[in-house]
Amino acid sequence: MWEVILDCIVDTLKLFPFLFVLYVLIELMEHRTRMGKPNRALTGRAAPLVGGAMGLIPMCGFSVMAAKLYERKYLTLGTLFSVFIATSDEAFPVIALSALSVREKVISIAAMCAIKLLLGVVVGFALDLVANRRAGRAGALADADGHAPLHDEAHCAHEHVHDHAQHGEEGGELHACEHRHAGALQLYVLSPLLHALRIAAIVLLINFAFGLLFYYIGEDRVIDALQHTGYWFQPVICAAIGMIPNCASSVVLAETFAMGGIAFGSCLGGLVTNAGLGVLVLFRNRRAWKRNLVILAAMFVLGVLAGYLVNALSLVVM
């Protein structure tokens, strides 16, 4: 039990720097500072490629940042998918430390990275292309649910600032919201810190809940169940496990694969659906629950299809 608590605290502490940097970045963007202006990497044509490459880094913080930036409309839907698909949480370190030979480790990790990046980039570009055509202008931000931008309920309202800009405020630059009289310390340090602490507390609670679930069920039982799953049922089961927003899901998938309990394609399918803690950030927006369910369903379908396709190709090659 204490090991579960410790793991949850450590995972949350590892995530906290990402959360703080994220909210500082959001403040810089929303106040259109010089540092916040150059964000074409987030919304430009190459954004899905950049997002997929960042998602490959074995840290769930990037999926969390992607989800929050998407909520604020600073990230396209395609880029969100590319990050989510590329994310593998702790799977790669587990495989790297497994009993597999060095050759098997290198081939497995390299193949997973290549396939996940390729799939993420293709899906990301396709979604952005469709969204841009619907919007009627190149480079438009993807807004798949068709709703107005959804702001974090804890964040300040910026509508009155836009009103000032529309009435000819000097230069049209937006330098402040209701924090107009607040100092830079409060705006760019204290406010992001409070937002980060709030999200970290929620992540800690949910991580603890899933940690207890795996603790009482037992990772050994989950691994044993996966090992006895039929070859052609594995992609579906692995994709379902991968959707659990907890590092334990990626660890279980990677360990079972390293032990020879599931096929490479099945493990890959589960890791495609595994978007880390980013899913939790999306579901904090309860008003967009239908959109979030569609995103989850799409991730699940992509994971299952990837699993079956790679398994089928491996049989042909062998």
Residue with tokens 């980039």: 121
| HEC per residue, the chain | CHHHHHHHHHHHHHHHHHHHHHHHHHHHHHCCCCCCCCCHHHHCCCHHHHHHHHHCCCCCHHHHHHHHHHHCCCCCHHHHHHHHHHCCCCHHHHHHCCCCCHHHHHHHHHHHHHHHHHHHHHHHHHHHHHHHHHHCCCCCCCCCCCCCCCCCCCCCCCHHHHHHHHCCCHHHCCCCCCCCCCCHHHHHHHHHHHHHHHHHHHHHHHHHHHHHHHHHHCHHHHHHHHHCCCCCCHHHHHHHHHCCCCHHHHHHHHHHHHCCCCCHHHHHHHHHHCCCCHHHHHHCCHHHHHHHHHHHHHHHHHHHHHHHHHHHHHHHHC
Q: Which two tokens stand for residue 292?
A: 């979030």
Tens digit of each residue's pLDDT (9 = 90 or more) over 77-98: 999 999 999 998 889 999 998 8
In this structure, are residues 12 and 203 in contact, taking their beta carbons and an 8 Å threshold?
A: yes
pLDDT over threshold 90, residue 41: no
pLDDT over threshold 90, residue 293: yes
Q: What is the pLDDT of residue 158?
A: 39
Residue with tokens 């929620």: 202
In this structure, are residues 125 and 48 in contact, taking their beta carbons and an 8 Å threshold?
A: yes
For residues 46-58, average pLDDT: 90
How far apart CA 312 and CA 269 sit, in angstroms, is: 13
Tens digit of each residue's pLDDT (9 = 90 or more) over 174-196: 444 444 445 777 777 888 888 88
Q: What's the pTM? A: 0.75
Please list, in sequence order, all residues whose beta carbon lies within 8 angstroms of the beta carbon of residue 241, skipping any fewer than 6 positions away.
222, 226, 249, 252, 253, 270
Q: Of 42, 49, 98, 44, nearest to 66 (Cα)?
A: 42
Tens digit of each residue's pLDDT (9 = 90 or more) over 100-132: 999 999 999 999 999 999 999 999 999 999 988
* Dihedral Cα 256, 257, 258, 264, nearest 10 deg: 180
